[in-house]
Amino acid sequence: MTNLWGGRFSGDMDEIVKYYNASIFFDQKMYNEDIDGSIAHVTMLAEQGIVTKDEADRIIAGLEAIRAGIESGEITFNVEDEDIHMGIESRLIAMIGDTGKKLHTARSRNDQCQVDGRLFLKKEIRNILELLYGLENIVLAKAEQYADSYTIGFTHMQHAQPVTLGFIFMAYFQMFRRDIERLQDTLERMDYCPLGACALAGTTMPINRHRTAELLGFRAPAENAMDAVSDRDYSLEFLSDASISMMHLSRWAEEFAWWNTSEFAYIAIDDSYCTGSSIMPQKKNPDMAELVRGKCGRVYGDLMQLLTVMKGTPLAYNKDFQEDKESLFDAIETWKASLQIFAGMLEKTEFRLDMIEKQLNKGFLNATDIAEHFAKQGIPFREAHSIVGHMVRLCEENHCDFADLTDEQLQSVDPRITKELLGDISIPACVNARNSFGGTAPDEVRRQISVGRTWLDSVR
């Protein structure tokens, strides 16, 4: 086959050059977008009188036949095609003859590959948003279910303060909410059509870029042709969004892995989300949580790859840019799969409140509440903090809990303190009283859930 660009060449490409040069093996994923872009382009060319209506109709019919051929498996691509753009165009010319040669008027593969990339990514972003909405829905349902279930809040992986499980779920809800909003922002910012930017500088042909932008569902044509063909910010933004969201999933996956240990046993991950060991018959491993954690690193790698590709590229198009696709596709697939896996695992995980409860009276979880309680009774907080610190020491020495301290012992710490002054320091009383805005009290968490639900309904 002679190359579509072969006019000025007298010799063939070396065989290994063909393979090194080709992107067809990965960019054929975008065949639908390439065909949609071509149909919009030729529709506009006909409206502008650059090709006739009849020519446009024949080109469109040919492109649809190629689409059907690809879908049925009748048309397959190989290294000679180089990339999806030439793969389709050369099939078109072979199918409908010389008219097919008019399709590439007033465009270049430089803008074409960007039309494909943006259309493809917009579609995938919508798919990912759906997965995130689904995950948020599960998180909200779990938060409702466990709004009154007390558990341990950690800092430094040490017992810190009692909270509710619903409260923890709503913390993750906020992270995924920001993931959604970031993705929506990315979608907004990338919604400009590069088609008609041509190689780098626009064209002398009387095209209408606003029309192709409209036909392809973009907000407007990209403002500057040189930027349009050399911009990969949208992919980088997406990869950053993916990295941050994978980091959120990875953090929760890490919690799942340790909540699931026999030492903690706060949760039992469903059998359907675990695997066994080939040697140790008793094993049930939280592989899905670990894989989500592991795949986060892979998505970071995708982001670093493209950032590094872009950093030394002068304006305008450089072939380096062809390296923008595989990492992007990898991040899309990895993120989608991880969201699905994580949502399924979360939905089916059993939270073992009995096991959690056993830990609630360890680690003086209510120490801060007692200090606040004293402060409310007029003892300056710094003093209250120190008093409770001494109480902790006393309890540790006597192997007991705050509630076991006698009046005598309390007064040895500070004469102002009595058992009566301690009041109700049970875990429920402490948690229920922490009702400041954003706090962990069940009523406050229910407010957060309701705000979250309203927001989710408004965006999905």
The catalytic residue positions are: 156, 277
Nearer to ligand ARG, 22 or 135 (CB): 22
Nearer to ligand ARG, 114 or 260 (CB): 114
Cα dihedral: 306, 309, 315, 321 (round 10)? -70
Rounded to the nearest 5°, which phi and psi values hold at 243? -65, -45
Contact code string over 23-52 relative to ligand ARG, x by CB under 6 A: x---x-------------------------
- To the nearest whole angstrom, how small is the minimum distance from the Cβ of residue 114 to ligand ARG? 9
Length of the chain, in residues: 460
Nearer to ligand ARG, 27 or 55 (CB): 27
- Cα separation, 350 vs 85, in Å, equals 50
Q: Which of 243, 322, 338, 432 binds ligand ARG (CB under 6 A)?
A: 322
Q: Is the dihedral of CA 309, 313, 319, 324 positive or negative?
A: positive
Two tokens, residue 455: 């927001």
Which range touches ligand ARG (CB under 6 A), out of 106-114, 149-157, 232-240, 273-281? 106-114
- Cα separation, 247 vs 175, in Å, equals 10
Nearer to ligand ARG, 200 or 392 (CB): 200
- To the nearest whole angstrom, how small is the minimum distance from the Cβ of residue 77 to ligand ARG? 12
The pairing of strands 220-221 and 267-268 is: unpaired
Q: Are 164 and 146 within 8 A, CB to CB?
A: yes
- Cα separation, 30 vs 167, in Å, equals 42
The pairing of strands 192-193 and 220-221 is: parallel
Nearer to ligand ARG, 3 or 275 (CB): 3
- To the nearest whole angstrom, how small is the minimum distance from the Cβ of residue 89 to ligand ARG? 12
Q: How many residues bind ligand ARG (CB under 6 A)?
A: 10
Contacts to ligand ARG from residues 230-289, by CB under 6 A: none
The answer to whether residue 90 forms part of the interface with ligand ARG (CB under 6 A) is no
Q: Answer whether the bond into residue 316 is a cis peptide, omega within 30°.
A: yes
The answer to whether residue 321 forms part of the interface with ligand ARG (CB under 6 A) is yes
Nearer to ligand ARG, 107 or 142 (CB): 107
Contact code string over 300-319 relative to ligand ARG, x by CB under 6 A: -----------------x-x
Q: Which of 41, 91, 107, 109 binds ligand ARG (CB under 6 A)?
A: 109
Two tokens, residue 447: 């407010």
- Cα separation, 9 vs 2, in Å, equals 10
- To the nearest whole angstrom, how small is the minimum distance from the Cβ of residue 230 to ligand ARG? 11
Nearer to ligand ARG, 320 or 383 (CB): 320
> How distant is the alpha carbon of residue 279 from its chain centre?
36
Single out the residue of 144, 162, 152 nearest to residue 259, CA to CA: 152
Beta-bridge partner residues of 151: 163
Q: Which of 33, 83, 136, 179 binds ligand ARG (CB under 6 A)?
A: 83
Contact code string over 179-198 relative to ligand ARG, x by CB under 6 A: --------------------
Q: Kindly give, in sequence order, each residue whose CB lies less than 8 Å from that of residue 84, ignoring residues fewer than 6 positions away.
A: 23, 24, 27, 28, 30, 31, 34, 77, 116
Which range touches ligand ARG (CB under 6 A), out of 109-117, 235-243, 275-283, 351-359? 109-117
Q: Are 326 and 388 within 8 A, CB to CB?
A: no
- Cα separation, 290 vs 147, in Å, equals 27
Which range touches ligand ARG (CB under 6 A), out of 12-20, 108-116, 249-257, 397-405? 108-116
**Site for ligand ARG, rule CB under 6 A:** 23, 27, 83, 109-110, 113, 317, 319, 321-322
